Amino acid sequence: MTVDGRVVAGRYRLGRRIGSGAMGVVWQAHDELLYRTVAVKQLLLQPGQSEADAEEARRRAMREGRIAARLQHPNAVAVFDVVDEGDGMPWLVMEYVPSRSLSQLLEEQGTLAPQEAARIGMHVANALAAAHAAGIVHRDVKPGNVLLGDDGTVKITDFGISRAQGDSTVTATGMLAGTPAYLAPEIAKGHDPTPSSDVFSLGATIYAAVEGIPPFGLSDNPLALLHKVASGQIDPPRQAGPLTQPLLSLLSAEPTERVTMVRCRDALGAVAAGQPAPPMPVPQQAHMPTVATAAQRPMPMATRLDQRPPVGGAPRATSTTAMPPVRPKGPQQSGGMKRGPLIGIVTAVVIAVIVGVIVVINHGGNNNAGGSDGTGGSTGGGGSTTSASTTPAATVINRQPLSGDGDPGPDVQMKTVTDFFAQLPSNAQNAATAYLLPGFQGGADAFLAEMSKAKTVTLSDVQPGNYYIRATEHIVTKDGVKSVQQIGVGLKWENTQLYIQKIDKIGAAKPES
């Protein structure tokens, strides 16, 4: 279809076609009222579509506009307008980003270095954390929906199948929303999406960026791929380097074992800055295959993206942020282990044994009940992981005074709550010191006692309020008991800081499968 030169809503003159998706075609256009370039998404109905299906498609387009317009974030493509041309077909007017998708970049370059993949993932996580705080789940995070601007910016786009809290679901019965290769296991099993599902999909996107292939591989048979996704058994990363531990945490088969998007953003930011990622929970071995050690791991093979025909020629160099060197795409050399590397491995093993003996001596007769300091525990030769070994190390929290005139708004209030819960349960002591009001209702000691029994604590469906934030709390105890609880978090503005005054349990906790 050619509509070049058509004027939509009396002001948006369509130019060249710049993309297409499940719901329609995207055109570059000129806003003749504000004299700026925009992107206009044209809804296309399929030939022979029933009136009921056509009406659903229209509702989905309007819903995409409403949801996306609620999210104003520098790392999310902004929606400016939704117009109706009188034929019942909505047009979505969006921010125009001179860019290419991460998918296009990977087709051209094969894989990215871990630090660059972390930089891209950090910006996407930043936008998704804001979306989750607003009650929005994206549901289709994938390389094709990550835009890399010519100026180095990163933006997530296409909230067309996202679901907002309080908005009715308009996806047809039996329709699977999302791209199978990047779906979370619980979605492949038919469960409702949650913010944790976006965490998994972002992890899968970053995995594909460094490994050259999604964590569940590729298949021309979508049903076979969905079956593998539902199993939750990923192919362990081999080229992720400093991203290995964060990826394993993000790609846990159990939603309650994944970190929040806030912690995901912080971990990716550390790797992007060339720093070690903060310790993150390691998935239970029952749900995650053991990652091969350096001695066991085979040499990296050429990525499957190498099998694709070249796309677009040489990479563009228009971004002000230089891309790091890309991994070579040729075959790897193989052969026996040289003497130098062998000596290095033996030396590392000897050092590890010595350190282990010192740790045992220092901790002998000084066992702390509960093990809440997160310093002990190790993985034995059999590969079983103890709960202590999965506990992130505690870190001191230095909160900066809040700036600006007047009391903090709803966004700052929700961020305070999500940042606090992102520290739980491993860093509960420092989080209580930094965030809880001295007169915290119920007492800080009781709160810390509850956290000492928890293995993971996550939030979903965070809803804004006037110094009272409602959310759904998911807790997995160290005994493996899972529960879900509606909570209300009361806040108080004091001097230049926002503190948590109380945490109400609304109704009774329910078991969570």
Query: Does the pLDDT value for residue 394 go beyond 90?
Result: no
Supply the pLDDT for residue 391: 43
Supply the pLDDT for residue 232: 85
Backbone angles phi, psi at 141, to 5 degrees: -75, 125
The Cα 216–Cα 183 span in angstroms is 10
- CATH code for the part of the protein at 410-511: 3.10.450.50
Supply the pLDDT for residue 325: 39
Nearest Cα residue to 192 out of 169, 215, 214, 160: 169
More confident: 376 or 127: 127
The DSSP output letter for 321 is S
Angle at 207 between CA 232 and CA 164, to 5 degrees: 70
User: Could you tell me which residues are annotated as the binding site?
Assistant: 41
Give the pLDDT mean for 42-53: 72
Share of the chain above pLDDT 90, in %: 36
Query: Does the pLDDT value for residue 209 go beyond 80?
Result: yes
Sequence-separated (6 or more) residues with CB below 8 Å from residue 396: 430
Same fold, 7-95 and 410-511: no
The Cα 23–Cα 58 span in angstroms is 10
User: Could you tell me which residues are annotated as the binding site for ATP?
Assistant: 41
Residue ranges in 365-476 assigned as alpha helix (H)? 410-421, 428-435, 444-451
The Cα 466–Cα 232 span in angstroms is 40
- CATH code for the part of the protein at 99-165+177-278: 1.10.510.10
Q: DSSP string covering 328-394, please?
A: P-SPPP--SPPHHHHHHHHHHHHHHHHHHHHHHHHHTT-PPTT-TTS------TT-PPPTGGGSPPP
Tens-place pLDDT, residues 504-513: 999 888 998 7
Which CATH architecture is the domain 7-95 placed in?
Answer: 2-Layer Sandwich (3.30)
Residue 181 — pLDDT band, cuts 50, 70, 90?
A: confident
For the chain, the domains span 7-95, 99-165+177-278, 410-511
The Cα 263–Cα 449 span in angstroms is 23
Which residues are known to be catalytic?
Answer: 140
